[in-house]
Structures are given as structure tokens and as C-alpha cells.
Structure 1
Amino acid sequence: MNHAVSRKIASLLAALMMMAIMLPVMAFAATDSSAASTNESVSDSVYTDVYSVNDNVYAEVTFEDLASHWAQADIELLAGKGLISGVTASEFQPDRAITRAEFAALIVRSIELSSVTTSTYFTDVNESAWYADTVASAVYAGIINGYEDNTFRPNDSATREELAAVIIRALDYVQISTHVPQDTQDKLLSGYTDANEVVWAHQELAAALNAHLINGVTDNQLGSSKPATRAEAAVLLKRFLKLADRL
């Protein structure tokens, strides 16, 4: 074999060896690129669906002031769904009273009410207020009422009685029966020594108790006139969404 042929064979063998080395690398690169593309599409899907009420996908959200709080799990679940938010990025203030406007916003968001734009419902709801359309939507749907003097009092603390009434109307709106016979209402409320403090929502409170949406503040105290906290509102909303098969 002459030297020219030997050099050609050597060159060919070197080329074949280089291909043997490069092919696995190229295959790995192609696989990695495909995986990156797949991960990107999954990520996009997660972020697209994260705020869907009916979707099981949610973001992990927590707040520094929720550590060991009795309502931590429910608050974080709803925050991950985008249904509630903190007062800051790190604080939820679970034990602060919730306002009537804030709770109206929670209900409207949770049952995805259509937006209604109006400034004619209440004298104290300015059309430029952040809650104006929210309140209008809830009133239009028959879920929230104002007062006889044509005010809504959006910044007043919502009472536990008011929250019970709103949540029962919301269940009626999504066509879930909450009717409780009169004798059952009386029996449910008679278990609380402060039942005489209920002002007007006897039926709604009894229905909420019957559906296990609310509990007393103690074993024998209903606390209907007490301001509801943001934590209580969140837990009530979570129970409502579960009962309505929306969570």
C-alpha cells in the first residue's frame, strides 16, 4: 500500500471517529432543546390558567403574617387562585375587619359576575371609586343591598350577619338551594345565647349554619353583630366555592 492511500485511509478513519463523537452531542443538544421548548409551553400554560376559579392549577402564595394562623391554608389557596390579595406583598392582615366594599369585590370575582357600570345606585359610591363597578354588579345580581337612606357605606366593616346574608344570596344566584324550614331555623339559632342580637338575617344565618358555611365565635355565641375579619371572609368564601363546585 503506497503512502498516498495510507494517508487517505487515515483521514477517513479520523473523520469517522469525529462523527462518532459528535453525533451523541448533537442528539443531546436536540433533546435538550426539545425539553426546553416543552418546559416553556408548560410554564406558559401554568401562568395562563393560574387565576381560573375552576382550575386546579394555582400559584403558591404566602404572607409573612399568616404563619400558624388558623386560616392560613384557605387564605393561601384563594390567594394562589388570584381571588384574594394581601394589603401588601408580604402582609395579609387576617385579623383586620373586612369592609363592605372589599367583600363585595370577593363575591363578584369568585362567581365571575359581569361588569355593570353605573353611578345611580348609592349616594356614597363615587363612580371613580375602585369598587364602584363591583358594587353595581353585586347589587344588579341581587346579592348585596344598601341601606334605606340610599347609601352603601363601602368603608364600613361588614358584620358576620351581613357576610352570611351575602353568601346565601350568592348560592341562590348560582342556583344552589339553601332553603331551611322555619322549625329548623329556630332550632339552629336557639343553640346560641346571643341569637336575639340577630337584626334581620335570621333565615340567611340559619341557612349558613345548616350548610356549615359559618360557625359561632364560640360554642354558644354566634357573634352576628361583630365585624367580620379578613380571615373569616376568606374561609367563608372558600367554603362557598367548594359547595358551589367552583374550587
Structure 2
Amino acid sequence: MTKLTSKIVLSIVLVFSLFTVGTQSAYAALFDPLPFEDRELGRNSNAYLAMKNRPTTQEQQRFIQEVTPYAVRASEQWGVPASAIIGMSILESGYGTTRIAYYANNLFGIKVWGFNPANAWQLKGQPDEDFERAIPIIENLGTDRIIFDESQRRDNWYRQFNSYEEAFNFLAGTLLQNQRYGFAREKYQTNLTNGMSIEDASRQYLFDIAHAGYNHLGGSYYRDAVGRIMNQWNLFEHDRRDNGSTKSTDGSVFRDVNGHWAKESILFAAEKGWLNGHSDQTFRPNNHLTRAQAATILSNFLNLQSEGTPVRFNDISTNFWAFDAVNLVAQNNIMNGTGNGNFSPSTNVTRAQVAQIFFNAGFYSQPAQGGTRAFTDVRDDHWAVVAIETMRQEGIVNGYSDGTFKPNQPMTRAQLAAIIHRLYENNELK
């Protein structure tokens, strides 16, 4: 070998070495280290953790916005609850920030058992999960600090997907349809037909698949763990395929509004198409409204039209289900952002915010003047005091029998139905 050839080879080796070290350093910088990355700080259990200091609230919201359309389409095609598979993706992938999600788009921890299988990514350093054969150990540094011979493993390969959408389609269309889990889908559909609420049916579905082996911690754990996430983000809303009907299959009205104080307003608003019922013939009058849901209802009620350049928010992507409605209420200055360029679509809208919304829309003859306040819990310096007092004087919003308005309490579907019914009856929109 000539001196020139030797130099070229050495240069290539050095470049490759630097690239390898740089890649490993970048990998380690994102996540808490594994034993083969750091002999002192590395832990095998770190393999399952999300990225350091991640995800932020904004990243959580963006993740949900991104995956929801995939889950809804998968639900419509294969009959599994969208809320459940969104919640599963959040729990299993840390909102898309685990190693498996980051490097393989695998949001559900779906494995491919075997030695160097095709279309799979290896999670090196994870604890030994092969209970049938011993995995060779290169060095044992102590509990949770084992360096394995990764070339001799078949228990830490995970299916690699090209996209999140592909991951959802495989989960809903293949894995959850097989002989082991397919019964849970049939049971879910039967439960809905027999009148079980969507919330309970979705949670039962989680129990059934976990009990059948999807999660080794069991049905009760999985139902409760994913269920908390579903409640936190109101994911059940994505299971509700609105039919716009105010009647159930037997010709009666919503089966959960008889005797409700806002029944007349609910039926009126539903007949107008401003608020819809759900596929199980319920209205759920006491459910809270998110800001995205409120934006959708308001854009329908006010028949808002686009005012030119779209208003963009950091936490609202163009494929978000309420993108058009949010844009319309923002363009028309009906609802504004919550600061830092965000809209906070999954945050509940409060009673004070709703009063301000209708004040912004101009539903009053004249604004309230300073003076005696009607509500004991709305101070003169409250940010929405003028809106609340004005809407009270106009007969649009009411307080409670104890003299309070509860401005920070979330608005319910029934309360909003009553408000827009009053507005209509006041001839504002006739």
C-alpha cells in the first residue's frame, strides 16, 4: 500500500469514526443513557423513557392534533374506538418522544420477534425480555446496568413504520383484528348497540385487549392508565360520529335530556344544526366544552365568513379537525389566542370566556357602566367584568342562586345551548 493510499484510508476511517461518535453523542444527548453509552449513569430501564425534559404541553397538543385524523379514519374503517387508540399511542410513545417512536415511528411498542428481522428497529440496551433463552452478557455493571450482546437478541426488535399513519393502520387494521384481540372489537360494537355509553364502551375495550395479553400489567391497569389520558384530553369526542338527529331510533328525543332544565334549548339548538347529538342518541348536556368545540359551535351559529388572510396559531395545524372554525372565530375577533401564539384548543372554555365571546360579537344594545356589581365573585378589576355585566343586563347569561357567576367554571354543552337559544329569541339572528 502506498503512502498516499494509506493516508486516504486513514482519512476515511477517521471521518467514519467521527460520524459514529457524533451520532452516538447526539443519540445520548436526546435520551437518558443506556449502560453501553455510559457505564456510570446508564440504566437499562432508561430504554423506555421519553426524551429528556420532553414533551412540553405544546408538543403534547401537536402530537394529538397530528394523530387524531389517523385514529378517526382507522376507527371508521375497522371499528375500534378512536379514543382508545389515541390514548394508547400517548401512553406507549410518550406523545411520540420515546426511542421507539422517534427512530421507528412505532407509537405502540409493537415488537417483531427474531434475529435481525426485516422492517424492524432494534432498541439496544433494553432489559432482558426473552424468557425462553439466555441473552449473552458482555459485562454486568450491577442491577439495571447490564451490557448485552445485542447481536444475539430477538426480544428487542420493534416494527419500523414509515409514518405515524402507517402505525395506526397496522394497529387497528391488522394487530387488533387478529384472533387474539378481534373479539374486543365485536364486544365494543355490541356494548354500544345495547346502550352502553361511549366512554364506558371504550374503557371496556381497553380492559379486554389488555386482559387478552396486549399489556402485561393487566386489564384494570391499562383501562385506568389510558382512561385517565382519554379523560384529560376529552378523547371520547373522537368516537362520536354526530348524526345531527334530535331523535333516537325509537322516535324519542335524546335519551339523556328528559327532565333536564335546558331540554327545550338543547332540542332547539340541535334542530338548527348548531349543536349535534351523538351516534348513541345522547346529547351529554353536562359535558364541558373545549375551546375548539366552542369555536366550531360559534362559527356555525354565527354563520361566520372568512375575512381574508388566515390567522395561524402555533398549536393548530392545518389538518386539525377544527382548523377552519378556529380560523373563522379568530378572523372575526370572536375568540382570540391564549398567548405566545397559541389557541389552546383542548382547554375547557370558561363561563367568563363565553360572556366575553358574545360581547366581542356585539350581542348587546350598550355596554354596562360602572357601578354595583351583580355577582359577588366578579370583582371590578376582573378582566371580563364589563362583558359579564353587559351580557347579564341583556338577559343572555345568568348567575347562580347564591349570587355568584362562577366565571372560571367550565361552560357545559347545555349552558351554551341555553345562551344561543336566548340570543335567537331576542331576535338577534332572525
What SS class does the counterpart of residue 136 from structure 1 fall into? helix
Give the structure 2 partner of residue 181 of structure 1.
369
Aligned to 2:414: 231
Q: Does 1:165 pair with 2:356?
A: yes
Structure 1 residue 219: Cα displacement:
3.6
C-alpha displacement at 1:243, in angstroms?
2.4
Structure 2 CA distance for aligned equivalents of residues 244 and 170 of structure 1: 15
Question: Does 1:140 find its partner at 2:331?
Answer: yes
Choose which of 93, 101, 109 in structure 1 pairs with 2:300. Answer: 109
Letter in 2 for 1:196: R
Question: Aligned partners of 2:269 and 2:332: how far apart in 1?
Answer: 23
| Structure 1 pair 60–124 and aligned structure 2 pair: CA distance change class (3 A) | closer
Moved over 3 A (4+): 115-120, 196-199
Which shifted more, 221-230 or 210-219?
A: 210-219
Q: Which moved more, 1:154-163 or 1:84-93?
A: 84-93
The residue type equivalent to 1:209 in the other structure is R
Aligned residues: 181
Check the 8 A contact 1:198/1:225 in 2, yes or no.
Answer: no
Of structures 1 and 2, the larger Rg is shown by 1
113-122 or 208-217, larger mean C-alpha shift:
113-122
Q: Distance in 1 between matches of 2:380 and 2:408?
A: 7
1:1-247 correspondence to structure 2 within 5 Å? 61=247, 62-115=253-306, 120-171=311-362, 177-183=365-371, 187=372, 189=373, 191-196=374-379, 199-247=382-430
Contact persistence 1:85–1:92 (CA under 8 A): yes
Task: Using CA pairs under 8 Å that are at least 6 residues apart, name the structure with larger relative contact order, 1 or 2.
Answer: 1
Distance 2:406 2:381 in 1: 9
Q: What secondary structure is seen at the aligned counterpart in 1 of 2:256?
A: helix
Change (3 A) 1:200 1:244: farther
Q: Which residues of structure 1 form unaligned runs of 5+?
A: 1-58
Change (3 A) 1:198 1:87: farther
Distance 1:105 1:117, change over 3 A: farther
TM-score normalised according to structure 1 size: 0.67
The separation in 2 between residues aligned to 1:126 and 1:197, in whole angstroms, is: 37
Q: Which amino acid aligns with 1:195?
A: V
Partners in 1 of 2:316 and 2:401 — Cα distance? 35
Q: Is the 8 A contact 1:161 1:224 kept in 2?
A: yes
TM-superposed deviation, 1:98: 0.9
SS of structure 2 residue aligned to 1:195: coil
- CA spacing shift, 1:197–1:75, aligned 2, 3 Å: farther
Contact 1:104 1:138 in 2 (8 A): yes
Identity %: 26
* Aligned counterparts of 2:324 and 2:366: Cα–Cα separation in 1: 27
Query: SS state of the match for residue 66, structure 1?
Result: coil
Q: Verify the 8 A CA contact 1:171 1:178 in the aligned structure 2.
A: no
* Aligned 8 A contact 1:161 1:198 in 2: no
1:198-239 Cα shifts (integer Å, max 9, x gaps): 741111001011101111133411111101111001111111
Deviations for 1:83-102, whole angstroms, at most 9, x for unmatched residues? Answer: 11023341111001111111
**Secondary structure at the residue paired with 1:181?**
coil
SS of residue paired to 2:367: coil
Give the partner amino acid of 2:426. L
Which structure has the highest helix share of the two? 1
Distance 1:198 1:86 in 2: 38
